[in-house]
Amino acid sequence: MMYNSILVDPLLNISKVIKEWRKVNVSLKRLNKISPKINKKNEKDVSFDRYIELKNINYIVNDKEILKDINMKISKGEKVAIVGKSGSGKSTLIRILLGLIKPTSGSIIYDKYELDEHSNVLDNFSVLNQNCLIFNDSLRKNLELYTDYFDSEKLIDLIDRFGLSELFHEYNIETRIDSASGGEQKRIGLLRILLREANIYVFDELSNSL
């Protein structure tokens, strides 16, 4: 029995390590999709004070037309809903707006400045993606993914608003969240982006899992 334990226990430990690594690897792949490109050569940070305008935006992939002749203007402080059926290109339009992908044709204008391949606009945004990336760690670690500082009073207020006070007993931000439900994870994602100061807040499929 002792020899059996000596042989089996290390194998079980290795199995656990492999399982955890697979989880981490999936998380890293997701993070790479949403993380800004760092130290891009000749990159120019672009912000706006008045408006963002999309003019004649078209996006084609493998001869399939995803977006056609999109025109819209978003003024600072304005609330805009992009509505359409599944697969109609809503998420693609958001990724173009964020500068993560380039349109096949058309232009994006920030206060009369037309974006080009060297433009970095991500610092203007705080984004909640369809698939909310939550680490099996403390609330603090998850909140610090996008910002190093957050207002404690604002955090407590948001925890109350989103009905998360029972999950985080006495507002303990060191509480691990690996047991959070899908809806709770989505609300934690909301906490994270609302605590980050940004010019524009983007919610992709906000009602999913809520």
pLDDT tens for 76-98 read: 888 888 888 888 888 899 888 88
Partners of 114 in beta bridges: 109
Are residues 70 and 144 located together in one domain of the fold?
A: no
Average pLDDT over residues 179-183: 75
CATH number at residue 63: 3.40.50.300
pLDDT at 15 exceeding the cut of 70: no
SS3 58: strand
User: Does residue 37 fall inside a structural domain?
Assistant: no
Average pLDDT over residues 9-28: 50
Average pLDDT over residues 100-111: 90
User: Does residue 24 fall inside a structural domain?
Assistant: no
Query: pLDDT category, 5, cuts 50, 70, 90?
Result: very low
What does pLDDT average to over the chain? 75
Q: How far apart are CA 40 and CA 210, in angstroms?
A: 37
Q: How far apart are CA 87 and CA 146, in angstroms?
A: 28
Least confident of 32-36, 46-50, 56-60, 101-105: 32-36
Which domain, by its residues, includes 73?
44-120
Count how many domains the chain has: 2
User: Does residue 145 fall inside a structural domain?
Assistant: yes
pLDDT at 116 exceeding the cut of 90: no
Query: pLDDT category, 132, cuts 50, 70, 90?
Result: confident
Q: Read off φ and ψ for residue 120, nearest 5 degrees.
A: -120, 115
Q: How far apart are CA 132 and CA 52, in angstroms?
A: 26
pLDDT at 20 exceeding the cut of 70: no
Are residues 87 and 156 located together in one domain of the fold?
A: no
Are residues 186 and 170 located together in one domain of the fold?
A: yes
Q: Which one has a higher pLDDT value, 15 or 139?
A: 139
